Amino acid sequence: MAKDYYKLLGVSKDASDDEIKKAFRKAAHKHHPDKKGGDEVKFKEINEAYQVLSDKQKRGQYDQFGSGFDQAGAGGGQGFGGFDFSGFQGGGQNGFNFEFGGDGGDGGGFGDIFGDIFGGKGRDQSQNQGKGNDISVDIEITLEEAVVETEKDINIYISILCSSCDGSGAEKGSKVESCKTCSGSGQVTKQRRTILGTFAQNEICPDCKGLGETFDKKCSVCGGDGKTKQNKTIKVKIPAGIADGQTIRLSGQGEVGFRPGKRNSVAGDLYITVRVKQHSFFERKGDDIIYNLQISISQAVLGDKVNIPTLQDEVKLKIPSGIQSGKIIKLNEKGITHLQGRGKGDMFIVVRVVIPERLSKSQKKLFEKLKEEGI
């Protein structure tokens, strides 16, 4: 049965690139196998869906051909994703004899399109085969930290290259020889029958895990996997002006993986979602800051000079006489640094005139006198 990549990520078929990216990060964070209650199978399916839907070319191919291939292969129905192949003549069953997954050919056209759908090795896939898992983590900062560039340490528990065997999986001094199953290529070819004919599909060798070599003793540290789990601390610079929910991507800082036939590691990426803590008295609106200033009736009538906090320092604010409750005073460039440009946002002080709930006898007499004066 065909996989519905849109359903796996929980988005509609007309979802934007940003919506797909946000849905992937949310789902990956939820199902990551290192988290309590994580699901490794679900995580891999989500990652597979994102690899297709995040690439415009692959997404277009999936939208146009994806369900058509599977439906045709399973039920033998007429038609093929909206294409009529009846006019083509060629060898093989049903007039076709294509071979996918090899390195030959012209490197384009049907090879790439069919390779993606049947799981073969197209040009893009060959570069990503064996790539390690991406990691998604959250980090919390204060509003004051969001104003300036901040450096934070992130602790993660991930797969890294085994330091004992350098990723080979072999115990030091063990006998290494060419894999007999794949003849040292790191890949085996399997035949797959479909309504279009028989297709050859390359897969990672199950015996040598794609390295092309076998050994008589497995590494005592990693058990032959070539990688181990370890706590890792990564320093990340958080740019000034970042907003709550925005994500930083660190390429190659995710879990380690392996390319078939090669010993070098291919690490996934680390996605850091920044959470900005709610401030006790500042409110953020974009790159602007809102602050509620409470003043007395006498300050509102006579005017005053008061010290108020900003995200950077403390400033003296002049309150004009006769100011009304709800009046807004603007302080230029006392807000958040613009993330994608120069300058800063502004700070808006909302004046709130506080009416006393209780008055002393002397205060009450003063207000009665003011009332007589028509004030």
Task: Write down the pLDDT at residue 195.
Answer: 60
Other residues' Cβ atoms within 10 Å of the Cβ of residue 45? 17
Alpha-carbon torsion, ordered 61, 110, 73, 124, to 10 deg: -60
Entry pTM: 0.56
CA distance 194 to 55: 26
| Mean pLDDT computed over 231-257 | 90
CA 219 → CA 98, 133, 173, 261, 265, distances in Å?
A: 41, 22, 10, 18, 17
Closest CA to 167 of 259, 36, 74, 91: 259
CA distance 279 to 336: 13
Token output for 186 = 């790191």
- pLDDT one-digit tens code per residue, 205-230: 887 777 778 888 888 888 877 788 88
Closest CA to 49 of 94, 4, 109, 90: 4
**Least confident among 21-35, 92-106, 121-135, 256-270:** 92-106
Q: Residue 330 — φ and ψ, nearest 5°? A: -105, 130
Helix (H/G/I), strand (E/B), else coil: 208: coil
Answer with the residue of higher pLDDT: 320 or 257. Answer: 320
- pLDDT one-digit tens code per residue, 36-57: 677 878 888 888 888 888 888 7
Please give the share of the chain, as a percent, with pLDDT higher than 70: 78
pLDDT category of residue 159 using cuts at 50, 70 and 90: confident
CA 168 → CA 33, 224, 258, 259, 260, distances in Å?
A: 24, 8, 10, 12, 12
Question: Is 184 within 8 Å of 178 (Cβ atoms)?
Answer: yes
Tally of residues, the chain: 375
Token output for 238 = 């958080």
Helix (H/G/I), strand (E/B), else coil: 226: coil
Answer with the residue of higher pLDDT: 100 or 343. Answer: 343
Question: Is 285 within 8 Å of 155 (Cβ atoms)?
Answer: no
Domains of the chain: 132-175+216-277 (2.60.260.20), 282-372 (2.60.260.20)
Place of tokens 């369900």: 67
Helix (H/G/I), strand (E/B), else coil: 178: strand
Average of per-residue pLDDT values in the chain: 78
Task: Write down the pLDDT at residue 193.
Answer: 73
Closest CA to 118 of 57, 192, 63, 184: 192
| 10 φ/ψ sector (left φ>0, alpha ψ -120 to 50, else beta) | left
Task: Write down the pLDDT at residue 174.
Answer: 85
Start-to-end CA span in the chain (Å): 81
Determine the angle formed by the axes of helices 17-31 and 40-53, rounding to 10 degrees: 170
Give Dmax (Cα) for the chain.
108
